[in-house]
Structures are given as structure tokens and as C-alpha cells.
Amino acid sequence: MKPVKVGLLGLGTVGGGTVTVLARNAVEISRRAGRGIEISHAAARAYDPDRIQGLDRIGRIGDDAFAIVNDPDVQIVVELIGGYSPARELVLQAIANGKHVVTANKALIATHGNEIFAAARDRGVMVGFEAAVAGGIPIIKALREGLAANHIEWIAGIINGTGNFILTEMRDKQRDFADVLAEAQALGYAEADPTFDIEGIDAAHKLTILSSLAFGVPLRFEHCFTEGIAKVGALDVAYAAELGYRIKHLGITRRSAGGIELRVHPTLIPERRLIANVDGVMNAVLVKGDAVGPTLYYGAGAGALPTASAVVADLVDVVRTLTTDPSNRVPHLAFQPDELADIPSLPMEAVQTAYYLRLSALDQPGVMARIASILADQGISIEAIKQKEPAEGETHVPLVMLTHRVIERQMNTAIAQIEALDSVQGEVTRIRMETLSG
Ligand code: HSE
């Protein structure tokens, strides 16, 4: 059978990795797919030929991305340029032209996925996006197929390698935030705009996709609560460790009574959990299903070859099902499109979680009692308290508390009241805490 012809948009880190993997493993890939997969046409503004193996196997390389989506010979378009525009226009044009699409673009799927999947459904084509979440980890395949028997209860993931690398280096080597970020950028892990990594936007894109796959709801990126890691201090990392916890930047989505939680924020988790020991740029996703229990998926969440691994796996999937009736293919969002449910998202202030609190309090009798009484008035139960020795000549002492679970709205009220006390200096640092127990 003739090889399938692929049009490739982008020859950057992931595009170059995809060319390399397709060339390096061509024989095995064709044995799996049932036919060869060849890149007949690629478009890139600039690329580094020394970093890419198999460039000579590409039929034609130009710089016009629209020439690819309009090329009648191309059957599958692989979009690896990233960003919202012109990626959206290119993908929609490819679909309108009856081409299947494979993309690693999490921002595009999280924000325009509903529109893209509807267009793909109308044209009977596939859109593969395994590489959009957690790089090389086949988490989309796991959720869509491997866990299809389950009622998914929650997912918690370390889904941004740059953020995890920064938190790990801060903990292990007491390195400076900016210095570690610069290294992640040099290694090619960070987003073009690194605030996407630091502020949790990249993780929110990925979490949005995981949540829809888990719960069968439309993609709702705008409902995701996002808090970055810039305010996590070395002091908090150290105090958390003393209490037996690690701080990780987690994406959490949970089906709770009032709706679906969708939140990205720094989180204290018990250090004995496997996921607490996922360090550096590695990613991990913990999924709790009612039948299977907790399952953990670990691997490289970024980088040329790991992400290409997911892109090429999608290509193989598309090639295997080219002649399948579209209604018999695995649905884009795991649930049949007309079975997506309109379950509401739970606003952050209605989410229930435990907390780590750190504040600076005047070292005199009655202060602790006042703070405890504010917490008690809001129904907040304290699980642990640590008061540190005051520094020489200091009137205030650091006070660290762990609380039991409480609705965020009540914690907000308590924090505002504590900050208003004359005996408390500055702001209260609050980091949410999860046990992630099965
Ligand atoms: N900037 C992302 C990360 C790249 O650091 O995980 C992979 O999506």
C-alpha cells in the first residue's frame, strides 16, 4: 500500500523531533500502522538542519503554512507551530479541506477545541492531540480508552515541567527562581511566553483537556482557577518539608456534589505519595477511577523526542482508522459528542480543601488564642501548629498551621480577619493542601 502523506507545520523543537522519530523508526512505525508514513510537505520560517535527522526524506520544505493545508496530496496535517493564531485558522482550513489533523497545541485545543471537534465531526475527520497534555505520557489514550469502564472521581497532575523543575531546584539546591527559569528556557522546556508556565496557564490548558475527557463535559478553559508559583517562598518549601509535605504545582479536577472542580495552584501533598517524588521536568498524572482505584502515569512532559513520541502515536492511530466509519472512531472527548453533559463548574470559593497557613504574629500571650478563635468561628479545625523561635531582637514569630478541610469562602473570611489583627504583621501565606489518598 502507498505511504500516507503528511503535511508538517513547524520544524521547531517538536517538529524536528517528529521528523527524527519518523525517520529513525520508519520500519517499525510502518509495521504498526500497516503502511508507511511520509512527510511530503513541510513549512517552517526557520529551522536548524543539524538538529533534525531525516530532513532529506521530506518531499518539499517551504515557508507557507496555508500551502500545506490546501495541498491536495496531503492527507494528514500535523500542526506544531503552537499558539492561537494562525494555528486555529490553519487547523479549521485543513479540516474544511477534509484532512485529518494531529496537533500538540494545548492552548488551541483548550480554548478552541469545541469548535474544532464540531468541524471535524461535520467533515468526518480525526483530530489527534495526545501530545497536547504531558508530552510523551499517553494520558489521553489512557483516559479515553484504557479507563473507559470507570466513573472517574478526580485527577491530579504535575503537568508543567518548567514549574516542577523550578520548585525542585528551589527545594534541593536552594536556587534562585529567576536563575532556574533561565535554565528551563535554555533547555527548551519553557513556553515562548514563560509566564504561561509560571502563572499556571499552560497547566490550566492541559487540565481543561483532562477534565473534559474524564467527565464528558465541553472544554471550559475560562472556568479554570489558576494560581502560579511565583509566591511560593523558600521558607514555605522548608516548613512544608518539616511537616512531611512537598509543594507541587498541581492541576486538580474533581467531580464533587456541587459541580466540577478545575483548579491549578501550588499544593502541599504528603511526601510519601509517589507523585510527591516526581522531580525536575518530569510530569505525572494521578487518576482515580471507581473501579480501578488510583493509577499513576509518569514520564517526560516536554522535549523534542518525548513529545514527538505522542505526535507519531497519533499519526499511527489516524492511519490505522483512515477507512473506518467516522461514527465508529474513538470520540475526541472520550464521550460521544451528543452525550457531553452540561455539569456546572464549581467556583473556587465553593471548593473544599485543607490549608497550610503561614503568618507573622506578635510573640505575646493571647495572640494565638485570638487567631484560633477566628478560625473556630469559621468552622475551621486546626490539624497542626508550629511556632518558630523568634529571631534575635524580633518581636514577631513565624506561625505555621495546617487545617482540616474547609470551604474556600470561609477560609477567605478567616484570613481577612486574621490580617486585620494588630498583632499580625503583613499578609497570611495560604497554600492549599491535598492528601491525594485513594
Ligand atoms: N512549557 C511546557 C512545560 C512544555 O514546561 O511543561 C510542554 O507542554
pLDDT score of 388 more than 90? no
The answer to whether 12 is a known ligand-binding residue is: yes
Cell numbers representing residue 91 in the block: 487547523
In one letter, which amino acid is 16? G
Each residue's pLDDT tens digit, 295-349: 999 999 999 999 999 999 999 999 999 999 999 999 999 999 999 999 999 999 9
Domain spans in the chain, listed from the N-terminal domain onward: 4-136+304-339, 140-300, 351-433
- Structure-model confidence comparison of residues 357 and 185, the more confident one: 357
- What pLDDT is attached to residue 234? 84
Q: Identify the band that residue 37 occupies on the pLDDT scale cut at 50, 70 and 90.
A: very high
Distance 167 CA to ligand 1 centre (A): 14
From the CA of 197, give the closest atom in ligand 1.
Answer: 1
Q: With beta carbons less than 8 A apart as the criterion, state whether 402 and 383 touch.
A: yes
Q: With beta carbons less than 8 A apart as the criterion, state whether 170 and 182 touch.
A: no
Cell numbers representing residue 319 in the block: 492511519
Distance 155 CA to ligand 1 centre (A): 18
Cis before residue 86, ω within 30 degrees of 0? Answer: yes
d(CA 367, CA 213): 48
Q: Would you state the torsion angle of the CA atoms of residues 138, 283, 208, 136, taken in this order, to the nearest 10 degrees?
A: -30
- Of the candidates 101, 54, 103, 99, the one whose C-alpha atom is nearest the C-alpha of residue 73 is 99
- Structure-model confidence comparison of residues 225 and 189, the more confident one: 225
Q: What's the chain's Rg over C-alpha atoms?
A: 24
Residue in the structure block whose three cell numbers are 460521544:
336
Q: With beta carbons less than 8 A apart as the criterion, state whether 232 and 431 touch.
A: yes
From the CA of 132, give the closest atom in ligand 1.
Answer: 8
pLDDT score of 233 more than 90? no
- Is the model's pTM score more than 0.85? yes
pLDDT score of 392 more than 90? no
Centroid of chain to Cα 164: 11
Quick one: which H or E segment has residue 397? Answer: strand 396-403
Instruction: Look at 68-77, 231-240, 256-265 and tell me which has the smallest mean pLDDT.
Output: 231-240
Q: What percent of the chain has pLDDT over 90?
A: 89
d(CA 55, CA 59): 9
The answer to whether 438 is a known ligand-binding residue is: no
The answer to whether 136 is a known ligand-binding residue is: no
Fold of 4-136+304-339: Rossmann fold (3.40.50)
- What pLDDT is attached to residue 343? 96
Each residue's pLDDT tens digit, 93-141: 999 999 999 999 999 999 999 999 999 999 999 999 999 999 999 999 9
d(CA 359, CA 392): 18
Cell numbers representing residue 81 in the block: 507551530
- What pLDDT is attached to residue 341? 97
Side-chain half-sphere exposure of 188, counting CA atoms within 13 A: 12
- What pLDDT is attached to residue 179? 86
From the CA of 203, give the closest atom in ligand 1.
Answer: 6
Fold of 351-433: Alpha-Beta Plaits (3.30.70)
d(CA 258, CA 408): 14
The residue whose CB lies within 8 Å of the most ligand 1 atoms, and thus the one to mutate among 191, 209, 311, is 191
Each residue's pLDDT tens digit, 157-201: 999 999 999 999 988 988 878 888 888 888 878 888 889 999 999
Active site residues: 206
pLDDT score of 275 more than 80? yes
**In this structure, what are the phi and psi dihedrals at residue 198, rounded to the nearest 5 degrees?**
-70, -40
In one letter, which amino acid is 240? A
Fold of 140-300: Dihydrodipicolinate Reductase; domain 2 (3.30.360)
d(CA 324, CA 90): 25
Distance 363 CA to ligand 1 centre (A): 44
